[in-house]
A and B are shown apart, each in its own frame.
Chain A
Amino acid sequence: MAEANLIILVICLLLYVILGGADFGGGILELLSRGKASKIVSRAIAPVWEANHVWLILVVVILFVGFPSVYSTILTALHIPVLLVLIGIIMRGSAFTFRQYDIEEEPTKAIYSAIFRFSSVFTTFFLGVTVGGLILGEISMNYQLGFYAVYIHPWLNWFSVSMGLFVVLLFAFLAGIFTVSEIEDKDYIIYFTRMTKRLLIALVVMGSIVFATAKLAGHSLLKDFINSSISVTCIVLATLALPAFWYFLNKNKGNWLRLTAGFQTILLVTGWFAIQFPVLVKTNSGHDITIQAAKAPHQTQFYLLIALVVGVLIIFPAMGYLYKTFKFSEEPES
C-alpha cells in the first residue's frame, strides 16, 4: 500500500517537474527573450499555471500523511532553502497574477514582469538546491552538531549549487518546448527553436558538471547510476531519444516534441529514484530513512490511497479538458 502511495507521489512529482517546470521555466525564458517574444511565453502558460502548481501540494500532502518522518526531516534540515523556495513561490505567483490583472499601465507592468522573471529563476534554483541536498545525503539528524553542520552544510555545497543550476536549465528547456509547440507565428517558432536547442546543449553540459561535483563531494552518484540496471536503462534511453528529439525540434512537430521531452524528464527522475530506492532520505550518519521506516500505519495508507485514486479519477479528465480547451493560446480577455 505504501508503495502504491509512493508511486503516486513520484507521478505527482514528475507532473510537477514537467508541467510546473514548464511554467517556472516560462519566467526564465521571458528573462532570456526580448520584446514580443516574452509576451508569447506568458500567454501560453496563463490558463494552466494555477492548476500546474497543485501537484506540489499533493506531493507535500502525500509526504506528511504517508511518510511523516520524511516530511519533518526534510523540512527541518533543509529549512533554509525550502524557505527561500516558498518566498520565491509567493513572489512569483503574485507577480504573475498581478501582471495579468492589473490595468494596462507602465511602469507597473514592467515591475511585475521583473519580479516574476527574477523570482522564477530564484525559486527554481533553490528547488534544485533542495533536491541536491536530498541526493547528496549530507543531511544530519544530530541537531547538537551546531548550526552550520545541521542547517547549512547539507545544501550549501558545490553539488547542490550545480543541481540548482541544472534545474534552472531543465525548466527553461521544458518551457522552450512548451512554447515552441504552442505558437503559430513562424518567426517566433524559429526564435524559440534556436533558444531551446541552446538550452539543451547547456543542459547536457551542466549534467556532466553535476556528476563531476558529486564526485568531488565524495558521492558515488555516477557509480550508483552505473550499478543500477534501471538507472542505466533510463540514461541509455534518454540518450537514444536525443536525436529523435532534435529531429522533431527541427521539423517543429509539437506533440512529438512534448512527448520526447516529457519522456526524457521522466527517465531522469526515475533514474534518480532507482538509485535512491528504498531510501527516502539519506543522512550522513548512516541512519537513512527508508520506506519501511517512514511509512505511516496501514489504515492511514489505505485511506490515503482511496483519496488519491478518487482524486486522480476526478482530476485527470478535468485537467485534460482544461488543456484541450486552451490548446491554442489566445489573448486572454480583459
Chain B
Amino acid sequence: MDEFMAARMQMAVSLGFHIVFACIGMVMPWFMFVAEWKWLRTKNPVYLDLAKAWAKGVAIFFAVGAVSGTVLSFELGMLWPTFMEHAGPIFGMPFSWEGTAFFVEAIALGLFLYGWKRLNKWVHLYTGMVVGISGVLSGIFVVSANAWMNAPSGFDWVNGQAINIDPVKAMFNKAWFSQAHHMTIAAFSATGFAVAGVHAVLYMKNKLEIHAKAITIALAFASVAAILQPLSGDLAAKNVAELQPAKLAAFESHFETQEKAPLIIGGIPDVENREVKYAIKLPGFLSFLAHGDFNAEVKGLEEFPEEEWPPIPITHYSFQLMVGIGMFLMLIAALFFAGTYKWKHWFEQKWWLRMLAIATPLGFIAVEAGWIVTEVGRQPWIIYGIMKTKDSLTPMPGIQYTFYTITAVYAILTFVVIWLLSRQIKLLQSKYLQNG
C-alpha cells in the first residue's frame, strides 16, 4: 500500500468508525428522552428502567464518539495539511458552531447521566432533550462542512490561493441542505432499527414488557425516518446530478451521455468496456431521478477525462447497497404503521421479530455505504473541481504505520464496545427475570 492509499484508508477507517458512534450519540438521547417522558406521564416503572438502560448505552457511545471525533479534528491536518491550510478559513465556520453545539451536548449529558437524583425530574427530562437537540445540530454543522468539499463556494480561487472568502456563503453551500437532511434522517433510521433489532432479539428469548416498549419507541422514530428517506434521497440525487454529474454517473456506472437514461439496478460494472453486466435497466428512470423528467439528458462519464473518474465499481456497489437497504427498511416501516393501526397481533409473530433482528445492522451498513458514495464518489478531488486529494497529502513518510496502528486501535475498541454492551444487556435481562 502506498502512502496516499494508506492516508485515504486511515481517513476512511476513522470516519467510518466515528460515524456509527456519532449517529447513535445524536439519536439515542431522543429515545431515552421519550422513555423518561413516558415514565413521568404514565408512572410505569418499566419506562424508567428503559431510560436508564439506554442512558448507559448513550454514555458509552457518546464517549467513544467524542474521542474519535477529537482524533478526526487532528487527523485532517496530520494527513491533509495542504487541504486544511487552504480550506480551514473557508469552511471552518460550521466547525466553530459545531464546537459550541458539542460542548452543550457534553454538558447536558453530564447533567443527565449523573443528575437523576440531583435535578428536578422535569429539569432532568429537559437536559435529555438538550442532549438530543445539540447532538442533531452538531451533526448538521459537520455535514455542512463536508458538503462544502462537494460544492465549494464562498471564495475565488486565483493562482492556487483562495481570495474573497465569505464563510457564510461557504457554510450555506449548495449541497449543505440536501446532505444534512439526508444524513440526519439516515441517523434516525439506522439507530432506530438497530435498537429495535437488539430488543427484538431479546424479546424472542423472553417476552418482557420492557423490550416491547423499547421496540415501539425505537421503531416509531425509525419508521418515520425510513418513510421520509426516499424523498430525501431523491432531493439528494438531484442535487448531486446538478453539482457533481461525474459522481452521479459513477453511482449508476452511466458511461454514455444519453436522453431517457435508464436506471441501472445491480449488475457488475466493467470499466474497461464501459458497460454494466447483468443489470436490470429501467429506461428513463435515471433521467427522472436526476432531473425530474423521463426524457432529460443525463451526462455520462465519457464527458469527463478518465483521470477524473471516481473509482467506479466501489461507488456503484455502495450506492446500490444503500438504496436496496433503504427500500427494505421502508418496507418494515410500512408494516409497522399498518400493524400499529390495524393488525396489532403481527407484532407478536416470529417472522416480524426476525425481520427486525435482520434489520439490526442494515441501517448502519447503509450509512457507511452512503458515505462511501459521497466521499469516494468525490475522488480524485478533495475540494471538488479545485484541489486534488493527492496534492494535499502530508509529506511525512510512513503513513502506512499510522494507518495500521489506528486501525488496530479502532478494531479493538469496536470489539470491546460490543462485548460491553452484551454484558449490559445480559445484566438487564437477568435483573428482570429475577424480579419476574
For the complex, give the distance between the alpha carbons of A108 and B118 in Å. Answer: 30
B133 interfacial by beta-carbon distance below 8 Å: no
A227 interfacial by beta-carbon distance below 8 Å: no
Beta-carbon contact of B104 and A315 below 8 Å: yes
Chain A, residue nearest B108 (CB): A318
B230 interfacial by beta-carbon distance below 8 Å: no
Beta-carbon contact of B89 and A51 below 8 Å: no
For the complex, give the distance between the alpha carbons of A33 and B400 in Å. Answer: 39
7 pairs from A and B in contact (CB 8 Å cutoff): A50-B109, A79-B402, A300-B92, A310-B100, A311-B99, A315-B100, A318-B103
A201 interfacial by beta-carbon distance below 8 Å: no
Beta-carbon contact of A76 and B81 below 8 Å: yes
CB B420 to nearest CB in A, in angstroms, measures 6
Q: Which residues of B contact A184 (CB under 8 A)?
A: none
A278 interfacial by beta-carbon distance below 8 Å: no
**Interface size counted on chain B using CB atoms at 8 A:** 71
B69 interfacial by beta-carbon distance below 8 Å: yes
Interface residues on A, range: 35 or more
Q: Which residues of B contact A318 (CB under 8 A)?
A: 103-104, 107-108
Beta-carbon contact of A299 and B166 below 8 Å: yes
Most-contacted residue by chain A among B63, B84, B405 (CB, 10 A): B63
A255 interfacial by beta-carbon distance below 8 Å: no
A 220-237 contacts with B by CB, 8 A: none
For the complex, give the distance between the alpha carbons of A62 and B98 in Å. Answer: 12
B427 interfacial by beta-carbon distance below 8 Å: yes
Q: Which residues of A contact B271 (CB under 8 A)?
A: none
Beta-carbon contact of A90 and B68 below 8 Å: yes
Beta-carbon contact of B111 and A65 below 8 Å: no
Beta-carbon contact of A93 and B64 below 8 Å: yes
Given the interface pairs A72-B84, A325-B119, the reply to whether A300 lies near B396 with Cβ below 8 Å is no
In addition to A72-B81, A102-B420, 12 A-B residue pairs with Cβ atoms within 8 Å of each other are A57-B102, A58-B103, A61-B98, A66-B92, A79-B402, A97-B60, A303-B168, A307-B96, A311-B100, A311-B103, A325-B118, A333-B117
Beta-carbon contact of B97 and A307 below 8 Å: yes
Chain A, residue nearest B395 (CB): A143
Q: Which residues of A contact B66 (CB under 8 A)?
A: 50, 53, 93
B 90-141 contacts with A by CB, 8 A: 90, 92-93, 95-100, 102-104, 106-111, 113-119
B70 interfacial by beta-carbon distance below 8 Å: yes
Chain B, residue nearest A319 (CB): B107
B 379-436 contacts with A by CB, 8 A: 394-398, 402, 405-406, 409, 413, 416, 420, 423-424, 427
Given the interface pairs A50-B66, A300-B165, the reply to whether A100 lies near B111 with Cβ below 8 Å is no
Instruction: Give the segment of A81-89, A171-179, A190-198 that binds chain B.
Output: A81-89
B331 interfacial by beta-carbon distance below 8 Å: no
Q: Is the interface of B mostly helix, strand, loop or mixed?
A: helix
Beta-carbon contact of A297 and B89 below 8 Å: yes
For the complex, give the distance between the alpha carbons of A89 and B116 in Å. Answer: 28
A64 interfacial by beta-carbon distance below 8 Å: yes
For the complex, give the distance between the alpha carbons of A102 and B68 in Å. Answer: 20
B88 interfacial by beta-carbon distance below 8 Å: yes
Which residues in B have some Cβ–Cβ distance to A below 8 Å?
A: 52, 56, 59-60, 62-64, 66-71, 73-78, 81-82, 84-86, 88-90, 92-93, 95-100, 102-104, 106-111, 113-119, 163, 165-168, 394-398, 402, 405-406, 409, 413, 416, 420, 423-424, 427
Given the interface pairs A61-B92, A100-B59, A325-B119, the reply to whether A79 lies near B67 with Cβ below 8 Å is no
Chain B, residue nearest A55 (CB): B103
A 132-175 contacts with B by CB, 8 A: 143, 147, 150-151
A206 interfacial by beta-carbon distance below 8 Å: no
Beta-carbon contact of A94 and B92 below 8 Å: no
For the complex, give the distance between the alpha carbons of A75 and B396 in Å. Answer: 10
Chain B, residue nearest A305 (CB): B96
For the complex, give the distance between the alpha carbons of A307 and B60 in Å. Answer: 29
Beta-carbon contact of A61 and B395 below 8 Å: no
A246 interfacial by beta-carbon distance below 8 Å: no
Beta-carbon contact of A65 and B82 below 8 Å: no
Beta-carbon contact of A321 and B110 below 8 Å: no
Beta-carbon contact of B396 and A50 below 8 Å: no
Given the interface pairs A51-B103, A76-B395, A307-B93, the reply to whether A89 lies near B111 with Cβ below 8 Å is no
Most-contacted residue by chain B among A71, A94, A100 (CB, 10 A): A94
User: Given A48, A68, A83, A101, which contacts B56 in the complex, CB threshold below 8 Å?
Assistant: A101
For the complex, give the distance between the alpha carbons of A318 and B109 in Å. Answer: 11
Chain B, residue nearest A304 (CB): B96
Q: Which residues of A contact B397 (CB under 8 A)?
A: 147
Beta-carbon contact of A97 and B59 below 8 Å: yes
CB B135 to nearest CB in A, in angstroms, measures 13
A56 interfacial by beta-carbon distance below 8 Å: yes
For the complex, give the distance between the alpha carbons of A6 and B62 in Å. Answer: 29
User: Given B107, B396, B406, which contacts A315 in the complex, CB threshold below 8 Å?
Assistant: B107
The digit string for A198-220, where 1 denotes a CB below 8 A from any CB of B, is 00000000000000000000000
A 263-291 contacts with B by CB, 8 A: none
For the complex, give the distance between the alpha carbons of A30 and B230 in Å. Answer: 52
A 64-121 contacts with B by CB, 8 A: 64-66, 68-69, 71-76, 79, 82-83, 86-87, 89-91, 93-94, 96-98, 100-103
Q: Which residues of B contact A91 (CB under 8 A)?
A: 409
Q: Which residues of A contact B402 (CB under 8 A)?
A: 79, 83
Q: Which residues of A contact B115 (CB under 8 A)?
A: 325
For the complex, give the distance between the alpha carbons of A307 and B92 in Å. Answer: 11
User: Given A62, A65, A89, A90, which contacts B413 in the complex, CB threshold below 8 Å?
Assistant: A90
Q: Which residues of A contact B78 (CB under 8 A)?
A: 75-76, 79, 82-83
Beta-carbon contact of B90 and A102 below 8 Å: no
Q: Which residues of B contact A86 (CB under 8 A)?
A: 70-71, 74-75
CB A6 to nearest CB in B, in angstroms, measures 14
A60 interfacial by beta-carbon distance below 8 Å: yes
Beta-carbon contact of A68 and B63 below 8 Å: no
CB A92 to nearest CB in B, in angstroms, measures 8
Q: Which residues of B contact A96 (CB under 8 A)?
A: 63
Given the interface pairs A50-B109, A66-B89, A300-B167, the reply to whether A97 lies near B77 with Cβ below 8 Å is no
Q: Which residues of B contact A90 (CB under 8 A)?
A: 67-68, 71, 409, 413
Q: Which residues of B contact A98 (CB under 8 A)?
A: 60, 416, 420
Given the interface pairs A299-B167, A300-B89, A322-B111, the reply to whether A94 lies near B96 with Cβ below 8 Å is no
For the complex, give the distance between the alpha carbons of A72 and B82 in Å. Answer: 7
User: Given A71, A72, A87, A101, which contacts B424 in the complex, CB threshold below 8 Å?
Assistant: A101
